[in-house]
Every structure is written in structure tokens, then in C-alpha cells.
């Protein structure tokens, strides 16, 4: 009984797979025109297609950034204070007073102005024409109506490989 149902299921799955493949092949349009779908006189044609291609260019440069060198500094007096909990909220955590020590800083009077160069990166995106050859099945009417892409001046019509 199990073997019979397995064979039946396998047959159904194979039939379904064959139907899907047949539908895909039919949609692929072997022998029909890629533009209008016509079937008469279709043949494969190489067409030159111009597309816009985005190219990212990275530019590097320098930017001058000025800064002051204060010169020699002096230490001043050392100060001491206590930080205490000033909160009146009964739910707040209580803490012990903490000793806080800092030293006064006396800036030097001999400053100098300097400039440093900073490396900067700039990314620019350019759109340029790009050409590629595509193979299409076309009927004679669509071949006559197809837009012909001209190769711009300065581009060699043939490319030699060495």
C-alpha cells in the first residue's frame, strides 16, 4: 500500500515538474519575436545597446587646519573640595561625601600659530554611456523599426586582440 502511494506521488510530482518546465520554455519564447511576440520570419540578431553606467570616482586632497600651540604652561595652586549628596528625594540612594582634588592651570604667554594638513576623501558619482551587444530574436518588421545605436566618434569600430 505504501509503495503504491509513493509511486503515485512520484508520478504526480514528475508531471507537475514537467508542466512547469514546459511553461517556462513556452514563456522563454524560442523562435518568437522579443518585441512583438510574432512567430513569422524570426531570427537571432546582434544589437548594440547604449546604457547609462554609474562610475564612482574617489578623489583625495588636503585641507589646511590651523591650531595654536600655547607654549610652556605652568601649574598653579592645588585645590580640594568635597562633593556631598544634595538630594532631598527619600528614594534616591544615599552616598558618603567624596573628596575632589584639582590643580589650577596657568597658560603660557608665548603662543604660535601652526597649520596642519588633513587628508580628505571625496567620492563623486559620474554617469557615462556604456555599450553592450545583446542577442535578440526579432521579426523582420521589428528589425526595421529597431533603434540603431551609433558608435560615438573616437571609439574604434573594431577591436583587435593581441
Residues linked to residue 39 through DSSP beta bridges, in sequence order:
none
pTM: 0.38
Do 125 and 56 form a contact (C-beta atoms < 8 A)?
Answer: yes
Task: Choose the weakest-confidence range: 20-24, 59-63, 115-119, 158-162.
Answer: 158-162
Domain boundaries, the chain: 1-28, 31-86+95-145
Across the chain, mean pLDDT equals 80
Do 130 and 51 form a contact (C-beta atoms < 8 A)?
Answer: yes
Highest-pLDDT range among 20-24, 67-71, 90-94, 153-157: 67-71
In this model, does residue 141 exceed pLDDT 90?
no
Q: Measured between alpha carbons, how far is 112 from 80 in angstroms, rounded to an integer?
A: 33
- Quick: pLDDT tens for 86-106: 777 878 887 888 899 999 988
- For the segment 9-28, the average pLDDT, to the nearest whole number, is 64
- Residues 6 or more apart from 73 whose CB is under 8 A from it? 105, 106, 107, 108
- Quick: pLDDT tens for 41-57: 888 888 888 899 999 99
Amino acid at each position: 500500500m505504501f509503495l503504491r502511494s509513493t509511486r503515485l506521488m512520484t508520478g504526480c510530482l514528475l508531471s507537475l515538474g514537467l508542466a512547469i518546465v514546459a511553461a517556462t520554455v513556452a514563456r522563454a519564447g524560442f523562435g518568437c519575436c522579443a518585441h512583438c511576440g510574432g512567430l513569422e520570419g524570426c531570427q537571432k540578431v546582434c544589437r548594440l545597446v547604449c546604457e547609462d553606467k554609474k562610475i564612482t570616482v574617489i578623489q583625495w586632497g588636503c585641507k589646511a587646519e590651523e591650531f595654536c600651540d600655547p607654549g610652556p604652561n605652568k601649574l598653579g595652586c592645588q585645590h580640594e573640595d568635597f562633593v556631598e549628596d544634595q538630594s532631598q528625594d527619600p528614594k534616591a540612594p544615599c552616598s558618603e561625601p567624596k573628596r575632589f582634588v584639582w590643580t589650577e592651570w596657568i597658560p603660557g604667554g608665548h603662543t604660535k600659530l601652526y597649520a596642519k594638513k588633513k587628508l580628505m576623501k571625496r567620492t563623486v558619482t559620474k554617469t557615462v554611456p556604456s555599450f553592450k551587444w545583446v542577442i535578440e530574436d526579432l521579426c523582420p518588421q521589428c528589425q526595421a523599426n529597431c533603434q540603431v545605436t551609433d558608435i560615438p566618434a573616437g571609439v574604434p569600430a573594431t577591436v583587435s586582440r593581441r
